[in-house]
């Protein structure tokens, strides 16, 4: 474990000394040689008989039981941090207002203490119009964030109106301190300015509201103290229910538990940046430079931290963010892990450049919080990543993130799974990629052409490339004896619908990898066509809205789930 002294004297001044472990924590089952596998979930996508049209924390607890019944030890989730309740349609889980607190939309209203006894809530639930809207939200193929937000907000306000307070709530507020105060205050300000059509970003609010310290903001906070308390109440409910879901993972016997996802940044105009503008470069956006796939590069709209400011405060805020996202988890995925060393940052209207971060210090901080929270660390290192960087991650005990479709040799052939690194997590795909069925059929190409992401010439090129990709996959399977290529029917084999046994064969193939952790995409198992997120789009595609085709109750008895689980249990026991 680490030792730290925040006030070590140096030449008449004080400095911070943090002694960190050289490697990140690994769960006991992995130290004993176990190779856990599990399911990465998009929590919003879960369907159940009781939820309100969006997956919730109770659903997450139920999925822990389903996962364990199939033999899994890890259950992944998308980032679940609080977004903007005044603009719930901004659905991206990677664009939050604060990474310290959780999204109230994931609260299960029925599971709130006192819900059954609440006269106001029960009256609301008895209303025919409310029930009709609730039925619509549940039946929708996509998450209707506006409708879900409307329904849950009414329920929350009914519950809060009868909430007398509690010692647990008081303790949560005290522990949350200024960051909780700012997060709740920001939600109230965002509501206020949204009504005035000024949006939820603080730059449009005027100088009087430019930071939490202005006289105008203090006056506003005093006048709206109860509404601020309301949002603290929601954050408290979310935290308590997420804790219960985490405890459910331990209770059913998941060897690792929840696998959380920590976004690389936070919305440039958000509670997190508003309260720490000396720490965040709010006029910059993290993104990626131009490349062969995107001539203009990408702007992600999330603000980077200033490396020198991070060092001045001994990484205190970064440590709190890490801890907040590790404390209920058995594992955490650090989005865009290259950010520990460098981030491509883009000013408005100007070409971007790389900003360097103190890599050794950052890795040490990650290792420190990993041990303090007993949390495995995975680094999302997809794309062009220098090999020496991956070696440094492995040395620090941070698992690499390997995706089958990216693991190709220079000649285009798939790298044999046996050649994958041990210090890694392996998966067939991610939420940003087509599902296995959608990839095989080219549904993502159809969508991209339809919404104007590619012209006819590029479409032809991509379709030819995809045919070669399918051929490469079949060739890889045949090399390992998992697929028999019929020469006379070869074209129909690789150009038709996804063959019935293809999902099972791909997962059998990939299960041969020595990687320490394995993830099974539910969307693949269920042969879902639509992908969860299509990078490069905003409103053109229903990003972060697609629900799973089956309910949790149906998943629990699904034959394909059982079949793929059998493959994993056999290969990784």
What is the per-residue pLDDT across 75-96, written as a single tens digit (0 to 9) for each? 999 999 999 999 999 999 999 9
- The answer to whether residue 40 sits within a structural domain is yes
In a domain, 105, yes or no: no
Confidence of residue 4 (pLDDT cuts 50, 70, 90): low
Give the phi and the psi of residue 158 in degrees, each rounded to 5. Answer: -65, -45
Asked whether residue 341 is domain-assigned, the answer is yes
Q: How far apart are CA 435 and CA 529, in angstroms?
A: 6
What is the C-alpha to C-alpha distance for residues 262 and 269, in angstroms, rounded to an integer?
18
Contacts of residue 306, Cβ cutoff 8 Å, sequence gap at least 6 = 278, 279, 280, 281
Across the range 467-474, mean pLDDT stands at 96
Residue 318 located in a structural domain: yes
In this structure, of 10-19, 53-62, 128-137, the range with the lowest mean pLDDT score is 10-19
Q: What is the mean pLDDT of residues 307-325?
A: 98
Task: Work out the percent of the chain whose per-residue pLDDT is above 70.
Answer: 96
- Mean pLDDT for the stretch of residues 175-182: 98
Q: Is residue 560 part of a domain?
A: yes
DSSP annotation of 15 reads E
Separation CA 332–CA 496 (nearest Å): 38
Output the six-digit token pair for 15. Answer: 């400095």
Look at 32 and 11; give whichever has higher pLDDT.
32
Mean pLDDT of 310-337: 98
Q: Give the per-residue pLDDT at 7.
A: 61
Q: Residue 554: which domain range?
A: 3-7+19-83+238-572
- Whole-prediction pTM: 0.95
Q: Evaluate if residue 510 carries a pLDDT over 80.
A: yes
pLDDT above 70: residue 49 = yes
Q: What is the DSSP letter of 378?
A: E
Q: pLDDT for 120-168, tens place per residue?
A: 999 999 999 999 999 999 999 999 999 999 999 999 999 999 999 999 9
pLDDT value, residue 350? 87
Question: For residue 295, is pLDDT > 70?
Answer: no
Confidence of residue 488 (pLDDT cuts 50, 70, 90): low
Is the residue at 110 inside a domain?
A: no
What is the Cα gyration radius of the chain? 24
pLDDT at 1: 47
pLDDT of residue 6: 60
- 175's enclosing H/E stretch is helix 167-195
Q: Quick check: 35 pLDDT over 90?
A: yes
244 vs 289, residue with greater confidence:
244
Does residue 417 sit in helix, strand or coil?
helix
Query: 373 to each of 25, 37, 437, 487, 521, how far by Cα in Å?
Result: 9, 21, 38, 55, 27
Distance CA 419, CA 408 (A): 11
Distance CA 18, CA 470 (A): 50
Residues in the chain: 573
Whether 42 maps to a domain, the answer reads yes
- Summarize pLDDT for 98-115 with one digit per residue, the tens: 999 999 999 999 999 999
The DSSP bridge partners found for residue 102 are 81
Yes or no: say if 80 and 243 are a contact pair by the CB < 8 Å rule: no
Q: CA angle at residue 469 from 464 to 474, to 5 degrees?
A: 125
Mean pLDDT of the chain: 95
Q: What is the CATH number of the domain that holds 54?
A: 3.20.20.80
Residue 275 lies in a domain: yes
What total number of domains does the chain contain?
Answer: 1
Give the separation between CA 525 and CA 560, rounded to whole angstroms: 6
Q: Is the Cβ–Cβ distance between 545 and 137 less than 8 Å?
A: no
């Amino acid at each position: 474990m680490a030792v730290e002294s925040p006030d070590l004297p140096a030449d008449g001044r004080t400095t911070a000394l943090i002694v960190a472990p050289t490697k990140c924590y690994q769960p006991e089952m992995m130290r004993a040689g176990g190779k856990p596998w599990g399911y990465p979930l998009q929590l919003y996508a879960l369907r159940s008989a009781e939820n309100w049209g969006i997956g919730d924390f109770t659903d997450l607890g139920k999925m822990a039981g389903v996962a364990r019944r199939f033999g899994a030890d890890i259950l992944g989730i998308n980032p679940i941090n609080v977004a903007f309740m005044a603009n719930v349609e901004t659905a991206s889980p990677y664009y939050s207002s604060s990474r310290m607190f959780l999204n109230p939309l994931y609260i299960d209203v029925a599971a709130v203490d006192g819900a059954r006894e609440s006269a106001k809530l029960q009256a609301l639930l008895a209303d025919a119009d409310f029930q009709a809207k609730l039925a619509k939200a549940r039946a929708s193929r996509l998450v209707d964030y506006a409708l879900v937000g409307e329904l849950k907000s009414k329920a929350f306000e009914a519950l809060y109106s009868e909430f007398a307070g509690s010692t647990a709530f008081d303790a949560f507020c005290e522990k949350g301190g200024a960051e909780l105060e700012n997060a709740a205050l920001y939600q109230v300000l965002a509501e206020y300015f949204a009504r005035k059509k000024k949006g939820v970003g603080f730059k449009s609010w005027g100088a009087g509201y430019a930071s939490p310290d202005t006289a105008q903001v203090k006056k506003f906070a005093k006048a709206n103290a109860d509404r601020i308390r309301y949002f603290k109440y929601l954050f408290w409910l979310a935290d308590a229910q997420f804790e219960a879901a985490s405890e459910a993972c331990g209770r059913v016997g998941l060897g690792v538990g929840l696998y959380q996802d920590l976004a690389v940044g936070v919305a440039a105009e958000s509670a997190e940046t508003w309260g720490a503008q000396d720490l965040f470069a709010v006029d910059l956006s993290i993104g990626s430079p131009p490349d062969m796939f995107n001539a203009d590069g990408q702007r992600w709209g999330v603000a980077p931290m200033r490396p020198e400011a991070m060092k001045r405060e001994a990484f205190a805020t970064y440590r709190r963010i890490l801890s907040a996202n590790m404390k209920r988890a058995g594992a955490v995925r650090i989005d865009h892990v290259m950010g520990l060393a460098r981030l491509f940052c883009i000013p408005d209207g100007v070409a971007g450049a790389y900003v360097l971060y103190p890599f050794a210090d950052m890795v040490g901080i990650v290792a420190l919080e990993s041990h303090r929270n007993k949390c495995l660390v995975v680094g999302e290192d997809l794309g062009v990543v220098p090999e020496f960087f991956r070696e440094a991650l492995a040395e620090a005990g941070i698992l690499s993130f390997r995706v089958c479709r990216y693991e190709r040799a220079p000649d285009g052939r798939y790298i044999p799974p046996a050649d994958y690194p041990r210090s890694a997590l392996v998966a067939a795909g991610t939420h940003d990629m087509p599902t296995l069925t959608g990839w095989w059929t080219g549904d993502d190409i159809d969508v991209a052409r339809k919404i104007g992401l590619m012209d006819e010439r590029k479409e032809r090129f991509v379709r030819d490339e995809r045919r070669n990709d399918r051929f490469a996959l079949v060739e890889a399977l045949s090399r390992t004896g998992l697929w028999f290529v019929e020469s006379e029917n070869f074209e129909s084999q690789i150009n038709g619908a996804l063959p019935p046994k293809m999902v099972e064969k791909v997962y059998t193939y990939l299960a041969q990898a020595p990687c320490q952790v394995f993830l099974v995409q539910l969307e693949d198992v269920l042969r879902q066509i639509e992908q969860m997120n299509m990078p490069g789009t905003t409103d053109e595609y229903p990003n972060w809205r697609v629900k799973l085709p089956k309910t949790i109750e149906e998943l629990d008895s699904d034959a394909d789930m059982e079949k793929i689980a059998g493959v994993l249990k056999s290969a990784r026991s």
